[in-house]
Amino acid sequence: MEIEKFVINVGRQLGSGGRAIGHRLAHDFGMAYFDKEILSMAAQESGLCTEIFEKSDEHKGFFRTVFSSLFPIFTASGDLYGNQISDESLFRIQSEAIRKAAERESCVFIGRCADYVLRDMPRCVNIFISADTPDRVRRIRELTKVDERTALKMIENGDEKRANYYNFYSSGTWGAADTYHLCINSSVLGEEATTEFIKEFVRQKLGLPPEAGRVTP
């Protein structure tokens, strides 16, 4: 049975396991997965270099204007792009890449206001994943090998940047329950069981068959 295209958008606190859960959802439902891949797609379609989009990404803050005199921008043909490229312009290009990907196939999008960009798409499920601070610190320390104090600072800075980015570009509030279809704390059930909970929620919300997303041992 062929399932009509749908999208899962995952917002997440830093260190909540949201990226890993997104990977699991994409794998189990057989969907495309987009995180930083969106930046590469936007660069390819616009002819700008990926570094330009990375400097304006949700992890790096915003409210900057990129000047070609300070950071040379080349089109795909090798010509210097002479105009100023604002963060808002880069966001529009990135949003178009998100829309095109969603039109092609079922996708899981991680962050980057994809839920807002695809707000008119009826078959979307918007999830926000949080976690208890000790679990977030543990994940960050495992990934980066930093001490606890540094991990806590990374959490504070990371959440602030993601919130600023989302609140600026969307009409919702980052992490607020009424912005999403489902908000869930991954510390309660753990990553694997949280993934299963979200999968069942997706099946119920979109009316998917019971076998959708079920992985055969």
CB 16 within 8 A of CB 116: no
**Domains of the chain, residue spans:** 7-206
Contact 182, 127 (CB under 8 A): yes
Digits of tens for pLDDT over the chain (217 positions)?
A: 679 999 999 999 999 999 999 999 999 999 999 998 888 888 888 888 888 888 777 655 444 433 333 344 444 444 434 345 688 889 999 999 999 999 999 999 999 999 999 999 999 999 999 999 999 999 999 999 999 999 999 999 999 999 999 999 999 999 999 999 999 999 999 999 999 999 999 999 999 999 999 986 6
Q: Tell the residue number behind the tokens 């829309």, with chain if given.
A: 99
Residue 189, number of CB atoms within 10 A of its CB:
14
Integer Cα distance of 182 and 200 in angstroms: 12
Q: How many CB atoms lie within 10 A of CB 34?
A: 24
What is the distance between the alpha carbons of residues 74 and 82, in angstroms, rounded to a whole number?
A: 9
Q: What fold is seen in the domain 7-206?
A: Rossmann fold (3.40.50)
Whole-angstrom distance, CA of residue 54 vs CA of residue 37: 11
The whole model's pTM is what?
Answer: 0.86
**What Å distances lie between residue 46 and 73, 76, 77, 144, CA to CA?**
11, 8, 11, 33
